[in-house]
């Protein structure tokens, strides 16, 4: 048997496999969430009870800073990203309104990848007077709310986090008064 012929057959077979793999990933992404490093869309919407309440939102990860956005009721901001190959992607958002400030984990890969992919690659958040709430596809409401989303998991740690980062945040974002 000719070794050069075998090498060419193996190369052709591997090339065909790679082409099919890439085409499958592109088709899967066109019809929803692809299964390998999908492009996810993170949306934060102002759903405050009082109509004239503006919020400031600043979302970032260790690698990316999505900038500061001022949102009035009903307004939203959206950005897209792909999880990294190490499955360590994490985004958090600082949210200010009136005299309140919360920092919450907007995307944690192990917590959110399935939830976002089940929702057509959308990771949707509403900022309410109760704090951040995640879209629940099963109930079709923003009803996944609670301290488990906060960057600091209890009130005392949340206050410590605020004190540690307040001067930096004021320099970076300014402060939105009432």
Please write the tens of the pLDDT for every residue from 60-89: 999 999 999 999 999 999 999 999 999 899
Quick check: 29 and 39 in contact, CB under 8 A? yes
- pLDDT at residue number 20: 53
Nearest to 100 by CA among 131, 75, 72: 131
- H or E, element range at 156: helix 155-173
State which H helix or E strand residue 108 sits in: strand 100-108
Output b/e per residue, 57-70; b: 16+ Cβ within 10 A: bbbbbeeeebebbe
Q: What are the extents of the domains in the chain?
A: 1-31, 40-173
Identify the pLDDT of residue 177.
Answer: 41
- Four-way CATH pick for 40-173: 3.40.1350, 3.40.720, 2.60.40, 2.30.29: 2.60.40
Q: Is the pLDDT score of 15 beyond 70?
A: no
User: No. of H helices and E strands in the chain?
Assistant: 3, 9
114-141 exposure pattern, b = at least 16 Cβ within 10 A, e = fewer: ebbbebebbbbbbbeeebbbbbeeeeee
């Amino acid at each position: 048997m000719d070794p050069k012929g075998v090498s060419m057959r193996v190369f052709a077979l591997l090339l065909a496999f790679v082409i099919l793999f890439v085409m499958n990933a592109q088709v899967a992404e066109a019809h929803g969430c692809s299964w390998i490093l999908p492009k996810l869309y993170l949306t934060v919407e102002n759903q405050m009870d009082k109509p004239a309440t503006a919020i400031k939102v600043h979302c970032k990860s260790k690698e990316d800073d999505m900038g500061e956005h001022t949102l009035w009721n009903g307004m939203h901001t959206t950005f897209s990203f792909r999880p990294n190959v190490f499955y360590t992607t994490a985004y958090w958002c600082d949210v200010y309104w009136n005299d309140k400030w919360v920092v919450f984990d907007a995307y944690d890969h192990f917590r959110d990848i399935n939830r976002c992919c089940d929702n057509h690659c959308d990771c949707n958040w509403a900022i309410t007077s109760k704090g951040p709430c995640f879209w629940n596809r099963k109930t079709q409401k923003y009803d996944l709310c609670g301290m488990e989303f906060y960057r600091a998991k209890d009130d005392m740690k949340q206050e410590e986090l605020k004190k540690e980062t307040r001067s930096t945040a004021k320099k970076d974002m300014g402060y939105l008064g009432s």
